[in-house]
Amino acid sequence: MNNPTIRVGIAGVSGYTGKEALSLLLKHPFVRVSYVAANHTQGPIGQIYPEFLYRTTLVCRKFSVADAVKHCDVAFLALPHTESMAVAGKLLKAGVKVIDLSADYRLKNAKVYTQWYGKKHQDARNLANAVYGLPELFKVKIKKAGFIANPGCYPTAAILGLAPLLSTRQDVVSMVIDAKSGVSGAGRKAAVELLQAEVSENFKAYKVLSHQHSPEINQVLSLLSGKVVQAHFVAHLLPINRGILNTMYVQLAKGISLGQVHALYEKFYKVEPFVRVHPLHSQPEVKNVAHTNFCDIGLAVSPDKKMVVVTSAIDNLVKGAAGQAVQNMNLMCGLNETEGLL
């Protein structure tokens, strides 16, 4: 093959998302990881994360825009929310392709951003330039993009699970997204409520009807269905490391059979390499997508045909973050979409 080597940098490599990106990119045949940085952690990667011992000589630096510009064709920003918007614009201006894995550029409306993330947006004019990086829905735009807002983990699972049904523009009476995520979704931060002794053998709902991923989900679902959608979203914390399973309940005004809805989903995702619609009467499980970029989908319909239950499973760190970012990078750089991901 004749692919050039892409120089990729990762800002925020000390978090779980950044680490997952590093892990994927080190195995990518057309990538050289040329720069890794973080704000609060420095040193050889093999010391920070001994799983990389003797596998890379990369050294994590304090993040600097100038260094990133010098070393990178593409920058993965795996920074905490509200930190990406301080640097993304500068990198773009200097000609670096940017994939932002934070939430900073996902919401198109700066006011809505402030309402949910508690800070004024510092780079609002670039909101319109960020392409929402869900390849199964926006592939054409992504291929031409220089700037990607990589979707959130819950939204990825929710939107992929609901898109085929909502795109039929049926009348929806009520829509519920009951979402469950493993703890790595909360990031690598010292917090009592994320301790093993608090999380294991436990389960709880949190931010009930008030999770910051709600507006992101509603924004995209509204676009797809051609009208304002207000899904009822409840997040739960699973005592597992990685993985999301969303169970979604769509109460329809007019019924649809299981056969119809299954055919609809199979057709919708026919050419997509990373979405697997399960055979009839078979359900996705988190373990089947763990450490992969797949989104697995299951379907069921009530006897009166008016309640459609869609389940979708992803690995929150891969398809819900770093894997999707690599998929976006592949598309942006003219590579095969699945490169480094199968």
Q: Are 71 and 87 in contact (CB under 8 A)?
A: no
Compute how many other C-beta atoms are within 10 angstroms of the C-beta atom of residue 185: 23
153 is catalytic: yes
Q: Which is nearer to a copy of itself, 70 or 306 (CB)?
A: 306
Q: Which is nearer to a copy of itself, 10 or 172 (CB)?
A: 172
Q: Are 328 and 77 in contact (CB under 8 A)?
A: no
Q: Which is nearer to a copy of itself, 169 or 287 (CB)?
A: 287
Q: Which is nearer to a copy of itself, 109 or 202 (CB)?
A: 202
Provide, rounded to whole angstroms, the least separation between the CB of residue 213 and a copy of itself.
Answer: 16
Nearest-CA neighbor of 298 among 4, 306, 286, 290? 286
Tokens of 53: 């011992």
Amino acid at site 30: F
Provide, rounded to whole angstroms, the least separation between the CB of residue 102 and a copy of itself.
Answer: 19
Q: Which is nearer to a copy of itself, 126 or 214 (CB)?
A: 214
For residue 101, how many C-alpha atoms fall within 13 Å in the half-sphere facing its CB?
Answer: 36
- Residue 181, exposed/middle/buried by CB under 10 A (0-12, 13-18, 19+)? buried
Provide, rounded to whole angstroms, the least separation between the CB of residue 128 and a copy of itself.
Answer: 28
Provide, rounded to whole angstroms, the least separation between the CB of residue 320 and a copy of itself.
Answer: 14
Provide, rounded to whole angstroms, the least separation between the CB of residue 215 and a copy of itself.
Answer: 12
DSSP, res 140:
H
18: helix, strand or coil = helix
| List 60, 153, 295, 333, catalytic entry | 153
**Pairing mode, strands 275-277 and 204-206:** unpaired
Nearest-CA neighbor of 164 among 328, 326, 275, 323? 275
CA distances to 58, 100, 225, 286 from 92, in Å: 24, 11, 32, 36
- Residues whose CB falls within 8 Å of the CB of residue 204, separated by 6 or more in sequence, listed in order: 236, 237
Provide, rounded to whole angstroms, the least separation between the CB of residue 338 and a copy of itself.
Answer: 11
Q: Which is nearer to a copy of itself, 140 or 195 (CB)?
A: 195
Q: Are 238 and 181 in contact (CB under 8 A)?
A: yes
Provide, rounded to whole angstroms, the least separation between the CB of residue 40 and a copy of itself.
Answer: 11
Q: Is 35 left (phi over 0), alpha (psi -120 to 50) or beta?
A: beta
Q: Which is nearer to a copy of itself, 143 or 188 (CB)?
A: 188
Q: E-strand spans in 4-94?
A: 6-11, 31-38, 43-44, 59-62, 74-77
Q: Residues with catalytic annotation?
A: 153
